[in-house]
Amino acid sequence: MNPTGKVTLLSAGPGDLDLLTLKAAKALACADVVLLDDLVNPEIAALAPQARVIKVGKRGGCRSTPQAFIERLMQRYARKGLHVVRVKGGEALLFGRAGEELAALQRARIPVAIINGVSSAFAAAAGLGVSLTHRDHCQGVIFVTAHLRDHSEPDWRALAATRMTLAIYMGMSRIETLCATLAQALSSDTPAAVVQWAGSANERRVTGTLGTIAAVATEAGLGSPAIILVGDAIGEAITLAAWETEAPLLRSA
């Protein structure tokens, strides 16, 4: 192995390239190879002018690049002595299999670094003008994926019992049933919101309650990728400044 080869797992944030960190921009500027996930804004390639850019999307349910192939690809380029930047949407260390990729790189003895970023639930909250943890309402927030490997469901009742804000990733295909389950454990009046393409130019938002949000989001045509936010803290959303280029709130119920 060439000792100078290395891999950087880089968090691309939610879409708007201005939400990249300065550290991420610097890593891209000196990348030799860039591996891009499906949900990453493709314009990010402009920040890596010297790099060979390879798309390795792996969207749930679609035909896509197998995980093992992506891992081999990283290792092959790193072994050539190249700086491989593996770009993941949002925050690399939240969902998205970073754990498996880190383990594979360690087994292969490839040096690896990690660059943090903004996860899309934070961008969703920013779009809504709301703290995820307003202390009048909760002591924290839960980031959970509704898309489990074995096609089972998260234990929604256990999550509801914590009385914390829920930020649900990959839940749009089952929004109706998950909101109904949560409404039983909490209350159908609990504030809820859906933000599609949070933190990107295409951002679209609706607000409502556990009782209304599934219908409101469906009616507005919102689908994946989106974040579902649930909890009393979400009811504190304010109207943001018009001087910000903001996507309008589509509907509130």
Among 31, 36, 51, 125, binds its own copies (CB under 8 A): 125
Q: Is 26 a catalytic residue?
A: no
Shortest CB 219 distance to its own copies, Å: 27
Shortest CB 95 distance to its own copies, Å: 5
Bridge partners, 9 (sequence order): 86, 114
The answer to whether 179 and 212 are in contact (CB under 8 A) is no
Among 95, 193, 194, 205, binds its own copies (CB under 8 A): 95
- Please name which of 157, 161, 165, 114 lies closest in space to residue 135, comparing C-alpha atoms: 165
- Does residue number 99 form part of the binding site for its own copies (CB under 8 A)? yes
The answer to whether 182 and 210 are in contact (CB under 8 A) is yes
- CA distances for 163 relative to 59, 77, 186, 211, angstroms: 31, 46, 8, 17
Binders in 126-155 for its own copies, by CB under 8 A: 126, 129-136, 139-145, 148-149, 154-155
- Does residue number 20 form part of the binding site for its own copies (CB under 8 A)? yes
Among 55, 76, 80, 97, binds its own copies (CB under 8 A): 97
Part in contact with its own copies (CB under 8 A); list of ranges 57-65, 159-167, 179-187, 215-223: 159-167
The answer to whether 233 and 138 are in contact (CB under 8 A) is yes
Binders in 75-94 for its own copies, by CB under 8 A: 91-94
- Residue 66, token pair as written in the block: 């197998």
Instruction: Tell me the pairing of strands 52-55 and 165-169.
Output: unpaired
At which residue do the structure tokens 């989001």 appear? 217
Binders in 207-226 for its own copies, by CB under 8 A: none
Part in contact with its own copies (CB under 8 A); list of ranges 28-36, 111-119, 172-180, 181-189: 111-119
Nearest to its own copies of 160, 216 (CB atom): 160
How crowded is residue 238: how many other Cβ atoms within 10 Å of its Cβ?
8
The answer to whether 106 and 98 are in contact (CB under 8 A) is no
Among 37, 74, 88, 172, the active-site one is: 37
Active site residues: 37, 58, 170
